Amino acid sequence: MTGRPPLRARRLRRRGAVAVQFANWIPVLVSVYWSILVARWFLWVLAHAVGGQFTQLLVIHRWLAWPFTDLPGASRWPLLADIVAVVLSGVTALGLLGVAAGWWRETERHRAS
């Protein structure tokens, strides 16, 4: 037998370390994504201000929020795609932060006992 802790204890310790890193990176990733959505609107305004000859700007605008721009009604209400993107990314981030909090709580509970 080696002096190493059992596999379950090592897995919990590793999950606790991953949970801290995970919880630190999730808000950063969400804020970068939301910044891209804001940049998307700057491109839309720029494309409409410059005129019709810069259709590539509109193509970039569409692809920056791609899965949400295919929603029904997104062409009529362009802000709809961004609202859905912000809501879904926010809910996903909260869910992932909840998972990380559960991992951290489980690690702390086993560390105390």
Q: Are 10 and 4 in contact (CB under 8 A)?
A: yes
| pLDDT of the residue at 21 | 83
Q: Measured between alpha carbons, how far is 45 from 65 in angstroms, rounded to an integer? A: 16
CA distance 76 to 19: 41
pLDDT tens for each residue of the chain, 113 residues long: 566 665 555 555 676 777 888 888 888 989 988 888 888 888 777 777 777 666 776 677 777 777 777 778 766 777 777 788 888 889 999 998 888 888 788 777 766 66
Domain boundaries, the chain: 63-113
Q: How much is the pLDDT for 112? A: 63
